[in-house]
Amino acid sequence: MSVPPGWLIADSVSFPDFKLLPEDRTRLGHLSSTPEIQEWILTRVNEQQALIRSFRSLHNASVPINCQLPQDVLSEIFLHLPIVPLDGQSTQRPAFQFRAFKFLHVCRLWRQIILGTPSFWTAMLSQALVNVNYHDEENRFAFILGKTGVLPLSVTVRGGLKGGDLIEMLIPHAHRLSYVQAGCTDQDMHRLLSAGLPRLRELYYDAEDAMD
């Protein structure tokens, strides 16, 4: 279906409520087919949505806590945020249940600072129970490990016969492990120990858990 040039700029007749910039009306006036019009409109929608997100980020960045405190101070504050499970219990839980993930969605600045603070992620990992049987836990574990920098690691992993997947992910970080509590097969634990654990202080190994 085609429409005559100038169709959408005839707002005084057909589209009296459209509030468009003059340059947008001019551009629409040179489009002659419905697909062209729709494609251009969707492009403009995406551009405006991106602009709105930028303005919202600027607004969030201008609140006193963000614009008056140095980022290193904010980073230190974030280290003291409660990383406990959502229900407030102190027992180890899957990482996805931790309240700390919500802080990533407060604003762009907080997300940037938190993602760039390795100690935030090592603290979370030390309180998390990483279980390969939880939905998407392997990807979440890999994400957190990638944010811990070069800091020492304390981890608790479970997975039964699938625990080898988590052990495999730990091996490249073996030199940083200071605390390990693991449920996996004898073979998987042997692979981890063979990788060398120079910083290891505590190791708790439950071979029976590998049969779950």
Residues 148-189: tens digit of each pLDDT:
999 999 988 876 545 667 888 889 999 999 999 888 888 888
pLDDT, one tens digit per residue, over 93-126 is 555 566 677 788 888 888 999 999 999 899 888 8
pTM over 0.85: no
Predicted local distance difference test score (pLDDT) of residue 159: 67
Helix (H) or strand (E) holding 157: strand 153-158
Q: Phi, psi at residue 173, to the nearest 5°?
A: -110, 15
Q: Which pLDDT score is estimated for 83?
A: 66
The beta strands (E) that lie in the chain are given as 129-131, 153-158, 177-182, 202-205
Radius of gyration of the chain (CA): 26
User: Is pLDDT at 77 greater than 60 in this prediction?
Assistant: yes
Amino acid at 183: G
Decide if pLDDT at 1 tops 70: no
Q: Are 173 and 199 in contact (CB under 8 A)?
A: no
